[in-house]
Amino acid sequence: MKIAVITGASSGLGVEFLRAAVELCPDIESFWLIARRKARLEALAPHFPGKTLRAVPLDLTDPAALQNLQALLDAEKPAVSLLINNAGFGRLCDFAESDPDDQTGMVDLNCRALTAVTRLCLPHMPAGSLIVNVSSIASFAPTPRMTVYCSTKAYVQSFSRALREELRPRRINVLAVCPGPMDTEFLPVAGCDAGKSRTFDMLPHQNPTRMARLALEAGLRGRSVYTMGAFYKLYRVLAHVLPKALLMKITRC
Ligand SMILES: NC(=O)c1ccc[n+]([C@@H]2O[C@H](COP(=O)([O-])OP(=O)(O)OC[C@H]3O[C@@H](n4cnc5c(N)ncnc54)[C@H](OP(=O)(O)O)[C@@H]3O)[C@@H](O)[C@H]2O)c1
């Protein structure tokens, strides 16, 4: 059976990735939706009539959850033709004043779980499959006060690019998606919703429905990195050429 695995599918960009995948990948028979909030995952089914949605409630920072996912994959042996590693969170704060568990939790979810889920799914991925890893514009340059978050997203970029080369002989594409701010639960969770950060308030906010669709189209076309919109494409180029010390004066949140 051909399936898609989508992490962080209970809200925001994850739900939009589900919507885009249902439209753009009609041969996928079942969608495995991973997040902690089971009720949210189960509530999605009526919105996608005729599709098989499977709620897989897991806390991906819990090593036992990853064992459960491995057991499920081993037992059912699906063909994972699409993997979307989307679960992630950020925090806007001074690192030295922050909750230590929160900071390492970001590494656990944004890096460790993404790496583990990818590794667990790969034996089940046939030629022609696609892995979409959600990075961020925060990966382009160090971002003071989002120090750990931007570092985790830089990991996602680097991991995705190198893995893409490794998987080329297997004809599996890997795409890193780099969204700018989107009005999802991410912003209040990170503490950068309206009025909390001048930088976030000033930056153009992006539409998650459009982001998911265009990113998935780019991945299916074989692209390696997707950044939406001229503003953030220009920022990506500038981040390559400008000195990091100058960039950090601009990116400070
Ligand atoms: N929104 C933005 O401004 C923005 C910008 C750039 C990049 N991004 C990235 O986009 C991705 C999606 O974020 P979003 O904007 O859609 O925010 P969101 O609405 O807060 O979605 C985050 C998703 O991750 C899941 N999640 C959180 N902790 C988890 C855990 N321990 N185990 C399993 N699932 C977990 C959440 O579900 P549960 O709470 O039910 O577990 C939720 O489904 C993230 O990787 C984020 O870093 C967002």
CB contact burial 58-76 (16+ within 10 A = b; e otherwise): bebbeeebbeebbebbeee
**What's the 44 CA to ligand 1 centre distance in angstroms?**
16
Q: Does pTM top 0.85 for this prediction? A: yes
- Domain range for 247 is 2-251
Q: What's the domain count of the chain?
A: 1
**36 token code pair:** 């902690």
Q: Write out the chain's pLDDT in tens, 253 residues.
A: 999 999 999 999 999 999 999 999 999 999 999 999 999 999 999 999 999 999 999 999 999 999 999 999 999 999 999 999 999 999 999 999 999 999 999 999 999 999 999 999 999 999 999 999 999 999 999 999 999 999 999 999 999 999 999 999 999 999 999 999 999 999 999 999 888 888 888 999 999 999 999 999 999 999 999 999 999 999 999 999 999 999 998 888 8
Q: Is the CB of 11 under 6 A from ligand 1?
A: yes
**What's the 58 CA to ligand 1 centre distance in angstroms?**
14
CATH number for the domain that contains residue 93: 3.40.50.720
Q: Is the CB of 184 under 6 A from ligand 1?
A: yes
